[in-house]
Amino acid sequence: MILPGNASCQGCPISMAMRCLDEISKPVLVIPAGCSTVIAGLHPKSAMNGPVVHVPFPSTHSVAAGLSEAYKRIGVKANVVAWMGDGAADIGFAALSASAARKDDLITIVVDNEAYMNTGTQASLSTFWKARTTTSPAGKTEERRNLALIMLAHKADYVATASVGYIRDLRRKFRKAGVMKGFRFIHVHTPCPPGWKFPSEKTVDVARKAVMSGAWILWEYDGKLKLSKAGEKYASKENRIPLEDYLKQGRFSHLSDEEIRELEQKIDEDWELLLRFS
């Protein structure tokens, strides 16, 4: 759906995820404010060869629900896709939760770069504990929120996490969501070179290391929670790479060894919590 020559930064993970939208038939994109707004193109041009409805920040799911409901009534087949960053998921959380609870017939794709990147890397609810952002210059003091697990608690029809480091897995999940009905939610890990401060050719590398170190867990739920094949072996700690390898990013350069151990412990707790649902 995304055309070449768009306005994304070098090494942008969002444009990588956007390329995978071709797995979903008849998409109608609803995009709130964020990097994706810019990538999708400035008026009167468009970088997407399909319909895009640009909307205000907190309205994404409600506009998407309105579109989906109206298409149903007028007999139009469509996959309404609420395509948002972690920022829109923060500010639009009430609408997201209501949409999931209503089981609106739409696909949500959250491209999570763990901060408000379009406005200049301010901390979001997804920002990693201790990560530096422009509003947490000494490192964030709160832990990240696990959005996908919250969606699972809504008994959404489909919930998955994915990563731009594992495109085949990501494409499979887009494809699967595309042929299902109901409320489908995919949380895509999208490491951001300028925001996280790593070289722009390293996006895939960083994304893979997030999974290999256990910091990003690949799983899906379609009535039953299971770990995705691409990352299931990292459930065992001995299979993981050292966390330090993943943390080689500018936003973590200030961490002490002790803080890294603490981070590791938090990651272990995330695994433990998730596996209770499996």
Binding site for other proteins (CB under 8 A): 26-28, 30, 37-38, 40-44, 46, 48-56, 58-59, 61-74, 76-79, 94-95, 97-98, 102
Q: Residue 41's CB: how many other CB atoms inside 10 A? A: 18
Q: How far is the CB of 35 from other proteins (least distance, A)?
A: 12
Q: How far is the CB of 51 from other proteins (least distance, A)?
A: 5
Q: How far is the CB of 133 from other proteins (least distance, A)?
A: 24
Q: Which is nearer to other proteins, 65 or 111 (CB)?
A: 65
Q: Which is nearer to other proteins, 49 or 278 (CB)?
A: 49
Q: Which is nearer to other proteins, 72 or 248 (CB)?
A: 72
Q: Which is nearer to other proteins, 72 or 237 (CB)?
A: 72
**Around 120, how many Cα atoms within 13 Å sit in the side-chain half-sphere?**
4
Q: Which is nearer to other proteins, 100 or 212 (CB)?
A: 100
Pair 57, 23: CB distance under 8 Å: no
Q: How far apart are the first and last CA of the chain?
A: 34
Q: Which is nearer to other proteins, 22 or 205 (CB)?
A: 22
Q: How far is the CB of 112 from other proteins (least distance, A)?
A: 22
Tokens found for residue 162: 């994915």
Q: How far is the CB of 69 from other proteins (least distance, A)?
A: 5
The strand pair at 183-189 and 158-163 is best described as parallel
**Around 127, how many Cα atoms within 13 Å sit in the side-chain half-sphere?**
25
Phi/psi-derived region of residue 214, left when phi > 0, alpha when psi is between -120 and 50, beta in every other case: left
78: helix, coil or strand? coil
Q: How far is the CB of 36 from other proteins (least distance, A)?
A: 11
Quick one: three-class SS letters along 212-226? HCCCCCCEEECCCEE
Compute the Cα dihedral for 275, 96, 143, 208 and give only its sign.
positive
